[in-house]
Amino acid sequence: MSYSYKGTELDAHLPAPEYVPTRPSCGKRSGYVIHRQRGEDACVPCMDAAAAYQRAWLASKKVAA
């Protein structure tokens, strides 16, 4: 192999112009779902919203269990 592998974790903190939200739905979990349905990487506001939703969902599961 003549190239050096760049992991996504290393790239995550770099500025990424394609992560600029471009839809009215961005910043909500529905926006995250739309990104995934289109085969895109979600923008940062959508990833934040999805993470917050998952945390709340997991928290509610723990309470229910």
Give the x-and-dash track for 2-41 against Zn ion (CB under 5 A).
Answer: -------------------x----x----x----------
Identified binder of Zn ion from the candidate list 29, 43, 49, 50, rule CB under 5 A: 43
Helix or strand or coil: residue 28? coil
Helix or strand or coil: residue 46? helix
Asked whether 42 and 32 are in contact (CB, 8 A), the reply is yes
Least separation in angstroms between residue 45's CB and Zn ion is: 6
Q: Is 46 in the site for Zn ion (CB under 5 A)?
A: yes
Asked whether 34 and 23 are in contact (CB, 8 A), the reply is yes
Q: Which residues bind Zn ion (CB under 5 A)?
A: 21, 26, 31, 43, 46
